[in-house]
């Protein structure tokens, strides 16, 4: 009896225990799943931050356009020096005829010294050269300028024979591998070759553009791709991307990279590359069924026209059409400060009054893309009308200048365009993005190309009897993404694009059945050893740093917005009002309530102390206390535009501009921005940063000085 009851007790006890264990397990699982969900939310918010800032940056091009228009309108050069200075912004560099180019970019006279330990190239190239190059770049060696130029010459010769649309067939080399944006991230290319194998007669590759900019090894990637292109011309195919464009390179880092690596011959190399990019094919067709283009399509995309265009005429897609002779003279006169004298009714010559530049109305929030697009289009349209009046375009030819064409102004010495429609064809192919909604509208955020809907995709596929499109151009968290009911595939090969751990890269393989197989990767050893939490935290930190910089750049506007809700000037505000105010100023369409905990402390009673918060933000900045805070804000807000302007002025790509040029640029810019800045103010600015070098200013250093310091751990 005793034992019986003790068995019962034991049984009850163990039952209780397993019940407890069960309950405990449920609890732990419940808790853990909640933890993971919060991480997921943080990850998405971080992604949103990066994307919204990236797109906001692209809007800078619109601001730049406004600035140039402003110059045309308001600036009357008071001296020949000023005249020269201004005209430099409007006139491009010298353009070369074929023979001149060969002479300017001559490499044969370049001697390779005995002390050179890098790889040697001889032509025609052999597979051994490729492996030598790969090895050399892994060892961080640099290819001698002579070989670089030689390679570029040969590449150009080869590309010239290729049609605008390359054709690839899976029956020759069973599989085709398509790679997306690489953006100078050499480690990703190495990883792709490691996982997938080098190009060879049995291994075809298509590289879908954007080889350069942003990453630090754009030139090495070009060298490797061009080398393989020459060794295996039948198996390696390159498409042009929107970053294979020297106007874009000025802004996004490639120009800088080349000049830093090749101080003596960088300019030649850049000139040569310009003339190689324009010869890159525009698209690739796989088995006549899969169209591979960098950006996308539009409702006017015409493959027959694309095949016939003289693609090399479009060195940069970000340039306006050359005006006719008549208008050109008008422009030059304007630039040189000579007025357009018109006789009035009394026969006296009077100054023609320039139409005043229309001021754009307040922009709607970015969260509503449709509204935003509409606003931009309207603003741009106004600007265009005004520009037309200025230069008196009364042509027979219907010219439709778009925003991007006005970003960099008339190329007075440059090549002549053929038709406007041809330019649009290329622009659309290189710059468009898919959207979920039906239709086709101008991609005013990027400043070029379209947003195209599933109906546009459907029509193109039907018209040309295609199965699906492959494109790149947009960063995707998993390296690839389908849309339009699996008819459009985005493939992106630059992993960790925003920050270590931000996204995977991927490539896609197609066999004769044209069924896509994906391989994803992340090129960073650290990324692998980090836990999910650590990875997300890192990327998050980076995103928030960028966001804080943006907030700082709008300090004055934020204070005004907050004060509306804080009439008593207590320095405090509710969460709800804070979120509304911040969005009204920054217009990034971000989930501010979700982001709040990592941006600003809340007090015990749930209020936010905005005054001390903004002060803290300002303190993160390197000590530039002696510089007027509103000036600082302007510099932050316009840093990338300032950089672009500097680079345009810096014609020989030395990274230096004279103090006078800096002074002039600054004067112009500040008057455009309506900032009071005396000559003394500018001198103070220069002196305080202490980067004067022999009367020249290293503008890289200048720009570096205005980045928020990393918040210490």
Measured between alpha carbons, how far is 175 from 10 in angstroms, rounded to an integer? 66
Nearer to another protein, 267 or 484 (CB): 484
Q: 190, 222, 415, 221: which is closest to 310 by C-alpha?
A: 415
Q: 584, 577, 638, 567: which is closest to 606 by C-alpha?
A: 577
Q: Which residue(s) pair with 283 in the sheet? A: 165
Query: Any catalytic annotation for residue 243?
Result: yes
Establish how many alpha carbons lie within 13 A of residue 238's alpha carbon, considering only the half-sphere containing its beta carbon.
32
Cβ atoms of residues 280 and 160 within 8 Å: no
Q: Minimal distance in Å, beta carbon 713 to another protein?
A: 12
Measured between alpha carbons, how far is 574 from 426 in angstroms, rounded to an integer? 50
Q: Which of 144, 237, 243, 473 is catalytic?
A: 243
Nearer to another protein, 126 or 594 (CB): 594
Q: Considering the rule CB under 8 A, would residue 619 count as an interface residue with another protein?
A: no
Measured between alpha carbons, how far is 342 from 340 in angstroms, rounded to an integer? 6
Q: Which residues of 258-291 are buried (b: 16+ CB within 10 A; e: fewer)?
A: bbebbeebbbbbbbbbbbbbbbbbbbbbbbeebb
Q: Considering the rule CB under 8 A, would residue 35 count as an interface residue with another protein?
A: yes
Q: Minimal distance in Å, beta carbon 600 to another protein?
A: 7
Size of the site for another protein (CB under 8 A): 42
Q: Minimal distance in Å, beta carbon 545 to another protein?
A: 14
Place of tokens 């498409």: 239
Q: Which of 575, 607, 673, 703 binds another protein (CB under 8 A)?
A: 575
Q: Considering the rule CB under 8 A, would residue 49 count as an interface residue with another protein?
A: no
Nearer to another protein, 41 or 112 (CB): 41
Residues numbered 360 to 419 that lie near another protein (CB under 8 A) are: 369
Q: Considering the rule CB under 8 A, would residue 11 count as an interface residue with another protein?
A: no
Beta-sheet pairing, 165-168 with 236-238: unpaired
Q: Considering the rule CB under 8 A, would residue 12 count as an interface residue with another protein?
A: no
Q: Considering the rule CB under 8 A, would residue 76 count as an interface residue with another protein?
A: no
Peptide bond preceding 519 in cis form (omega within 30 of 0): no
Q: Which of 162, 500, 559, 594 binds another protein (CB under 8 A)?
A: 594
Q: Which of 6, 7, 10, 23 binds another protein (CB under 8 A)?
A: 23
Binding mask 476-515 for another protein (x = CB under 8 A): ----------------------------------------
Nearer to another protein, 26 or 341 (CB): 26
Residues numbered 430 to 459 that lie near another protein (CB under 8 A) are: 436
Nearer to another protein, 26 or 709 (CB): 26
Nearer to another protein, 331 or 540 (CB): 540
Q: Which of 11, 12, 13, 40 binds another protein (CB under 8 A)?
A: 40
140-148, 188-196, 232-240, 528-536 -> range binding another protein (CB under 8 A): 528-536
Alpha-helix residue ranges (DSSP H) falling in 91-217: 98-104, 127-138, 145-160, 186-196
Nearer to another protein, 207 or 544 (CB): 544
Residue 200: strand, helix, or coil: strand
Reading phi first (left if > 0) and then psi (alpha if -120 to 50, else beta), residue 214 is in left
Q: Which of 9, 11, 13, 30 binds another protein (CB under 8 A)?
A: 30
Residue 343 backbone dihedrals phi, psi, to 5 degrees: -75, 135
Q: Considering the rule CB under 8 A, would residue 36 count as an interface residue with another protein?
A: yes
Q: Minimal distance in Å, beta carbon 368 to another protein?
A: 9
Q: Considering the rule CB under 8 A, would residue 710 count as an interface residue with another protein?
A: no
Q: Which of 7, 9, 15, 28 binds another protein (CB under 8 A)?
A: 28
Q: Minimal distance in Å, beta carbon 27 to another protein?
A: 4
Q: Considering the rule CB under 8 A, would residue 15 count as an interface residue with another protein?
A: no
Could you tell me which residues come within 8 angstroms of residue 493 by beta carbon, excluding any fewer than 6 positions away? 179, 180, 181, 182, 188, 192, 472, 479, 505, 506, 507
Nearer to another protein, 507 or 613 (CB): 613
Q: How far apart are the first and last CA of the chain?
A: 67
Measured between alpha carbons, how far is 77 from 81 in angstroms, rounded to an integer? 8
Alpha-helix residue ranges (DSSP H) falling in 554-678: 555-565, 575-586, 592-599, 610-620, 629-637, 639-649, 659-672
Cβ atoms of residues 222 and 273 within 8 Å: yes
Q: Considering the rule CB under 8 A, would residue 45 count as an interface residue with another protein?
A: yes
Q: Considering the rule CB under 8 A, would residue 7 count as an interface residue with another protein?
A: no
Q: Considering the rule CB under 8 A, would residue 712 count as an interface residue with another protein?
A: no
Q: Minimal distance in Å, beta carbon 557 to another protein?
A: 22
Measured between alpha carbons, how far is 46 from 509 in angstroms, rounded to an integer? 30
Q: Considering the rule CB under 8 A, would residue 192 count as an interface residue with another protein?
A: no
Measured between alpha carbons, how far is 273 from 121 in angstroms, rounded to an integer? 18
Q: Considering the rule CB under 8 A, would residue 134 count as an interface residue with another protein?
A: no
Q: Minimal distance in Å, beta carbon 578 to another protein?
A: 12
Q: Which of 11, 13, 22, 194 binds another protein (CB under 8 A)?
A: 22
Helix (H) or strand (E) holding 209: none
Measured between alpha carbons, how far is 683 from 688 in angstroms, rounded to an integer? 8
43-51, 272-280, 307-315, 636-644 -> range binding another protein (CB under 8 A): 43-51
Measured between alpha carbons, how far is 553 from 661 in angstroms, rounded to an integer? 25
Write out the residues near another protein by the rule CB under 8 A. Answer: 20-38, 40-42, 44-45, 48, 369, 436, 531-533, 575-576, 579, 591-594, 597-598, 600-602
Residue positions annotated with a catalytic role: 243
């Amino acid at each position: 009896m005793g034992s019986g009851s003790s068995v019962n007790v034991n049984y009850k006890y163990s039952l209780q225990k397993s019940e407890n264990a069960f309950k405990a397990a449920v609890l732990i699982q419940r808790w853990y799943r909640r933890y993971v969900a919060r991480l997921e939310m943080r990850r998405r918010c971080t992604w949103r931050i990066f994307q919204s800032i990236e797109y906001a940056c692209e809007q800078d091009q619109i601001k730049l356009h406004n600035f140039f228009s402003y110059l045309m309108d308001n600036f009357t050069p008071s001296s020949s020096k000023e005249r020269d200075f201004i005209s430099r912004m409007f006139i491009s560099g010298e353009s070369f005829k074929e023979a001149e180019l060969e002479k300017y970019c001559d490499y044969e006279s370049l001697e390779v010294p005995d002390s050179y330990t890098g790889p040697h190239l001889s032509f025609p190239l052999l597979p051994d050269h490729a492996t030598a190059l790969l090895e050399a770049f892994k060892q961080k060696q640099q290819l001698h300028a002579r070989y670089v130029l030689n390679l570029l010459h040969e590449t150009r010769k080869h590309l010239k024979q290729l049609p605008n649309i390359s054709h690839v067939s899976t029956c020759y080399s069973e599989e085709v591998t398509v790679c997306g944006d690489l953006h100078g991230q050499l480690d990703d290319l190495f990883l792709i070759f490691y996982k997938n194998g080098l190009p060879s007669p049995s291994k075809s590759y298509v590289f879908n553009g954007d080889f350069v900019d942003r990453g630090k090894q754009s030139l090495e990637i070009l060298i490797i791709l061009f080398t393989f292109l020459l060794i295996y011309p039948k198996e390696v195919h390159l498409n042009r991307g929107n970053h294979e464009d020297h106007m874009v390179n000025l802004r996004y880092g490639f120009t800088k990279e080349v000049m830093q690596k090749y101080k003596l011959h960088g300019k030649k190399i850049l000139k040569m590359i310009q003339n190689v990019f324009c010869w890159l094919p525009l698209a690739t067709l796989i088995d006549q069924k899969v169209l591979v283009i960098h950006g996308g399509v539009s409702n006017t995309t015409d493959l027959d026209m694309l095949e016939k265009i003289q693609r090399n005429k479009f060195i940069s897609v970000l340039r306006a059409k050359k005006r006719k002779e008549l208008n050109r003279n008008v422009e030059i006169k304007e630039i040189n400060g000579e007025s357009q004298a018109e006789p009035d009714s009394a026969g006296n010559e009077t100054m023609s009054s320039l139409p005043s530049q229309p001021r754009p109305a307040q922009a709607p929030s970015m969260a509503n893309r449709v509204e935003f697009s509409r606003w931009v289009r309207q603003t741009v349209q106004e600007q265009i009308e005004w520009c037309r009046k200025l230069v008196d375009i009364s042509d027979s030819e219907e010219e439709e200048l778009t925003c991007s064409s006005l970003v960099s102004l008339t190329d007075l010495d440059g090549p002549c365009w053929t038709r406007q429609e041809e330019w649009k064809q290329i622009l659309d192919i290189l710059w468009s993005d898919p959207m979920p909604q039906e239709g086709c509208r101008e991609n005013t955020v990027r400043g070029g190309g379209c947003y195209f809907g599933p109906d546009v995709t459907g029509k193109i596929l039907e018209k040309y009897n295609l199965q699906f499109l492959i494109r790149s151009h947009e960063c995707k968290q998993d390296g690839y993404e389908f849309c339009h009911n699996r008819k459009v595939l985005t493939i992106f090969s630059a992993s960790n694009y925003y920050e270590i751990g931000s996204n995977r890269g991927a490539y896609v393989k197609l066999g004769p059945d044209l069924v896509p197989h994906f391989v994803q990767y992340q090129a960073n050893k650290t990324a692998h050893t980090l836990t999910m939490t650590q990875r997300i935290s890192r990327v998050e930190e980076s995103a928030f740093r960028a966001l804080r910089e943006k907030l700082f750049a709008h300090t004055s506007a934020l204070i005004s917005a907050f004060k509306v809700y804080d009439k008593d000037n207590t320095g405090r505000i509710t969460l709800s009002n804070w979120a509304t105010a911040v969005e009204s100023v920054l217009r990034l369409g971000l989930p501010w309530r979700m982001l709040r905990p990592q941006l600003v402390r809340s007090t015990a009673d749930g209020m936010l102390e905005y005054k001390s918060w903004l002060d803290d933000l300002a303190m993160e900045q390197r000590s530039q206390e002696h510089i007027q805070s509103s000036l600082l804000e302007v510099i932050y807000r316009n840093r990338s535009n300032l950089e672009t302007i500097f680079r345009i002025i810096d014609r020989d790509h030395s990274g230096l501009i004279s103090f006078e040029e800096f002074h002039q640029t600054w004067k112009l810019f500040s008057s455009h921005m309506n900032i009071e800045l005396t000559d003394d103010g500018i001198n103070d600015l220069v002196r305080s940063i202490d980067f004067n070098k022999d009367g020249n200013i290293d503008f890289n250093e200048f720009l570096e000085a205005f980045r928020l310091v990393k918040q210490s751990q």
